[in-house]
Chain A
């Protein structure tokens, strides 16, 4: 299915957010997630289904003031 990950369209086979993160190479990464503009807690990723057309944001710690 096609999922928009951080603004880029990606083909994802996984059907949960947690598996999608692993597929994208972020299994071990310290990231925060939002699905379709709403916060998705890390504890909910394993059970959160991913659907065609979903918009996933994967954020990491970054420099800030």
Chain B
């Protein structure tokens, strides 16, 4: 398991806290999956925030606050500072959204915000694309973890650009990377882990499932399977068939 800013997680699954049918179901999803990190946000206090916070604290997981919904570097930096004040962690999942339909990161705003926050002592988890140049610039800005998307947030499409992600992984083998967003099925998570990513972050795939607790467990098993498979050194792919059963000793019929 990789190191995320000096923290070794017990489980490579990070789970969001939004969109569950009830707080009890959310809690069951966390407990059933053993997810080690919970993402949370900041919104205007309207009476529900304090109760939500006590549930999250009782889970005993590490908190990763996000800057979801921010469309400019200034907005994201301000939100990150508010999150650090409230959640007392330097971790921040940095989202600077550039497009309303795809929720694709704005690479320019993202880099600007990452530079400011890293210089201010934050441990930035930038929500990015598979773009290698942007990844390199984020690393140079002080990011020691990257969070490339699998597909647009909430789409459930899985790994949209496997080749691009594979190249990103190969380009920076020592930088911990979390596939964040777009996963829909446990097989997508296993795929990401088999490809050498260090963790996955998901929310809708679990919270929108008919049985979120069961789906969370399924994802946890898939993540574990993918990780085991990667460490077991998978066989190479070939174009032609290679018989696995020995030909020697075959009867003459």
Contacts and interface: CB of A to CB of B under 8 A. Distances in A.
Interface of A: 6-7, 26, 29-34, 37-39, 41-42, 57-65
A61 B56 CA distance: 9
Contacts of B45: 6, 26, 29, 31, 58-60
17 contacts: A7-B44, A30-B53, A30-B86, A34-B82, A59-B82, A60-B48, A61-B40, A61-B50, A61-B56, A62-B40, A62-B49, A63-B20, A63-B41, A64-B40, A64-B41, A65-B154, A65-B203
Tell me the interface secondary structure of chain B in the complex.
Answer: mixed
Interface in B6-50: 16-20, 39-46, 48-50
Contacts, number: 101
A41 B85 contact: yes
A44 to B, nearest CB: 10
A32 B125 CA distance: 21
Contacts of B65: 64
A59 B46 CA distance: 9
A8 to B, nearest CB: 10
B68 interface: yes
